[in-house]
Homo-oligomer: A and B are copies of this chain.
Amino acid sequence: MALAYDGAIQRLIDAFNRLPGIGPKGAQRIAFYLLGADAQEAADLADAIAEVKAKVRFCDVCGNVCESSPCPICADPRRDHTVICVVEEPKDVMSIERTREYRGLYHVLGGAINPMANVGPSDLNIANLLERLKDDQVKEIILALDPNIEGEATTTYLSRLLSPLGVKVTRLASGLPVGSDLEYADEITLGRALAGRREA
């Protein structure tokens, strides 16, 4: 009995099923969608995959993904070159850009310190960060790592590493998310919000 689809369809389903967040049913749905879609849309997707592997590289300065190094942010003279915001991943750069509250530069570590996954400081893009501080142009480093165990460990590590260098080291505020409910806040978040209280 045929328990797999005929040739190419099954290979496409399998290929989508290997992607993160796509299960067997979702992969099947996408495969049949592409089968019914016009040839141009399918070709666009195939081309976009090939193109991203061929063109995308990492910025030699900040470690963000880009097509030319230095990346558009590092190369932009209108941005504030005295502040560097340190993040874990390229997608975190996009999250901060969306706030439209920040005009400085970035530094992408490529992860966080995680002993369970054998990721130590030497596996992160930290040497380049120290290199960027050498010309004394940078006045502030904002540590914007994920508020979880790995992010906290990395924040502590970087804070101790950078503070002696005479640069101001700050971190994002912890507290209640806007629009949330005090009643449902976990006690650690509420504790942080209390500790970080400011005049109203």
The chain A residues found within 8 Å of chain B, CB to CB, are 1-3, 5-9, 11-12, 14-16, 18-22, 26, 28-35, 39, 41-56, 65-67, 71-73, 89-91, 94, 97-98, 100, 103
Q: Given the complex, which residues of B lie within 8 Å of A50, measured CB to CB?
A: 42-43, 46
Contact of A52 among B12, B19, B21, B72 (CB under 8 A): B12
Q: Given the complex, which residues of B lie within 8 Å of A11, measured CB to CB?
A: 48, 51-52
How many copies of this protein are present in the complex? Answer: 2
Contact of A3 among B22, B32, B97 (CB under 8 A): B97
In the complex, the answer to whether B19 meets A30 with C-beta atoms within 8 Å is: yes
Contact of A35 among B1, B29, B56 (CB under 8 A): B56
Alpha-carbon distance A6/B52, docked complex (angstroms): 10
Q: Given the complex, which residues of B lie within 8 Å of A91, measured CB to CB?
A: 28, 32
